[in-house]
A and B are shown apart, each in its own frame.
Chain A
Amino acid sequence: MLAHLRALWLRVPFHHMIPVVIMLFLIKEQFPFSNFPMYSNFDSEADVVFITDQNDKVQPMDKVFRSGSSTAKKAYKKELGKITSKRKRDTKEATAPERAAAGKIVLADWVAIAKPGALAPEIKALRLYRRTFELVDGRLSDKAPELLAEQTR
């Protein structure tokens, strides 16, 4: 039976690659396996997060935290997802307090991993902001950044 199935399968084009594709598709994101879903779907909105000091001076995330804006955004979305999924809602429907709660967790993580000495001594607090880009009626717009969290050092 299995031998027959195998013989049949070996007639399928690219019969070694197709099982790997199916496997990656089913396993999804479990390192080192992945279905590589980056930019697989998008809508009219996209956001970035960044960190500033107490005077809103932007801090270079790679240099200061060794972990960039894109990673922080993904971590923020994951935390937000955990919060909103408890209430059976999508992250797009998150309220301001929910976004702030997720932002607080992420900022705490990023403050904890700051490179020793990379932050100037006069920096007393760090802020996490979210900036959203939007395509509305054929025009691109850039909303004022939203303060998600602030943490003193």
Chain B
Amino acid sequence: MSMPSSLPKPRAKVWWQPAVFDYSQLEAFVMRAAFAFLLFYSIKWETAPYKTQRNPTGLAHFFDFTWLAEHPPGPLWQGVCILSLVLYVLGLLPALTLAPTLASAIMIGTLVTSKAMHHSWQAVTLIALAQFLVYAWPRGRQLHRWVLGLILAAIAGIAFREISLLPGFAMAMKPFFSWLGHALNTLIHFTIIGFIVGFLASEINRAKSGLPAEAAPLRPGLPLHRIAIYASTVTFAASYVVCGIVKLVNSDFQWIQKVPYLSVQLLKSNWDGYYDSLVPVPEWLDKVTQGIVDHPHLARLIFGSGLFVELFAFVVLINRRWAFVGGLVIIAMHLSISKIMDLHFEYHMAAALILLMNVPGLMKTFGRASAC
């Protein structure tokens, strides 16, 4: 399972410009296997309770997925997904073999979150989407431009739809200017998204085009799997960083100051658990919540460290050791949240274990020559 000597050995130039890690075949195989299991397991296959999409999100703005509540995906479709995931793990046509499970994850996830938003498995679906894009994105310049053009056209279409839905059009002057302001805002918003999509797609295309031609096109080689894992890690890290930034922005940069108010959130989340299962709330709950109020600075230090972990999650991209330590810290953070707040992020912890801690690569991570 060692890397053939003909493969380019990617290496980061400087620590803040990280590159693809030098995963071995075995590491990439284990990661795909564990991730395939995680992706399948994270899907809420029992779709019967989701009969409406009253609060549409994502594709639910354009498509009705409530048919999934009437016809929940049964053993046959789940069997197709499992079979295709086995082929994905083996590295056979990974874009095609990842597609059925990814499509199920997106459609079911969209339906479920169109009832009420959940975040427990969202990152896993997002990682699968990133992997799919890496595997499926065309290599050739011409085809790349066509596909990118279609995606940008879709983004432009969504932008104009958003603008057409803005209220206040064709009224008096004041609503018109208000509409104009919102319309410009929407245009800028989508233009930035379009630029980012274009940049990321071009980076994937460039990275893929730089690889040697596949000896067996049905079974891409290790360099492509490494890029897919890198894209997964970037997506995972970005989801934590954005979570930290949103905390700062939404709280007017007062998040740390407001930590004592977390006491009522702790009460809420633990009582949520009680009303779900009728398992009594822990006896220490009142003491801990009052403790947060009575010792606000200590509480700020403890909960503030969580915010710190989120904001600096990008360090997991630096090298294998940073990834391992970052993964360990992320898992520790989620375990403590599980204990204190009764909020469980098993899928995030599993993703950190698979992508960041990378157990099969421990020897390499902590070996003498560990670099990237």
Chain A interface residues (CB < 8 Å from chain B): 6, 9-11, 13-17, 19-27, 29-51, 58, 60-63, 65-75, 78-79, 109, 112-113, 131, 133-135, 138-140, 142
Q: Do A135 and B293 have beta carbons less than 8 Å apart?
A: yes
Q: Do A65 and B293 have beta carbons less than 8 Å apart?
A: no
Q: Do A36 and B48 have beta carbons less than 8 Å apart?
A: no
In the complex, whether B212 has a CB less than 8 A from a CB of chain A is: no
Q: Do B250 and A37 have beta carbons less than 8 Å apart?
A: yes
Q: Measured between C-beta atoms, what is the minimum distance from B47 to chain A in Å?
A: 10
* Chain B residue at minimal CB-CB distance from A131: B271
Q: Do B189 and A26 have beta carbons less than 8 Å apart?
A: yes
Partner of A41, one of B110, B250, B271: B250
Across-interface contacts of A29 in B (CB, < 8 A)? 57, 113, 117
In the complex, whether B275 has a CB less than 8 A from a CB of chain A is: yes
Q: Do A19 and B199 have beta carbons less than 8 Å apart?
A: yes
Q: How many residues of B contact A (CB 8 A)?
A: 80
Across-interface contacts of A43 in B (CB, < 8 A)? 258, 261
Q: Do A34 and B197 have beta carbons less than 8 Å apart?
A: no
Across-interface contacts of B275 in A (CB, < 8 A)? 48-51, 58, 60-61, 68-69
Q: Do A140 and B293 have beta carbons less than 8 Å apart?
A: yes
* Complex-state Cα separation, A138 to B58, whole angstroms: 41
Q: Do A113 and B49 have beta carbons less than 8 Å apart?
A: yes
Chain A residues touching B, majority SS: mixed
* Complex-state Cα separation, A45 to B245, whole angstroms: 23
Chain B interface residues (CB < 8 Å from chain A): 16-18, 46, 48-52, 54-55, 57-61, 105-106, 109-110, 113-119, 122-123, 125-126, 129, 189, 192-193, 196-197, 199-200, 202-203, 234-235, 237-243, 245-247, 249-251, 255, 258, 260-265, 267-269, 271-272, 275-278, 286, 289-290, 293-294, 314, 317
* Chain A residue at minimal CB-CB distance from B195: A19
Q: Do A140 and B264 have beta carbons less than 8 Å apart?
A: yes
Most A-side CB within 10 Å, residue of B48, B110, B242? B242
* Other contacts beyond A14-B17, A14-B317, A36-B243: 10, CB < 8 A: A21-B242, A26-B189, A27-B193, A32-B125, A36-B123, A40-B247, A42-B262, A46-B265, A69-B276, A140-B290
Across-interface contacts of B269 in A (CB, < 8 A)? 70
Across-interface contacts of A140 in B (CB, < 8 A)? 263-264, 267, 286, 289-290, 293
Q: Do B126 and A33 have beta carbons less than 8 Å apart?
A: yes
Partner of B106, one of A32, A37, A112: A32
Q: Measured between C-beta atoms, what is the minimum distance from B293 to chain A in Å?
A: 6
Across-interface contacts of A138 in B (CB, < 8 A)? 293-294
Across-interface contacts of A68 in B (CB, < 8 A)? 272, 275-276
Taking A22-B196, A32-B106, A48-B271 as contacts, is the C-beta distance between A66 and B238 under 8 angstroms?
no
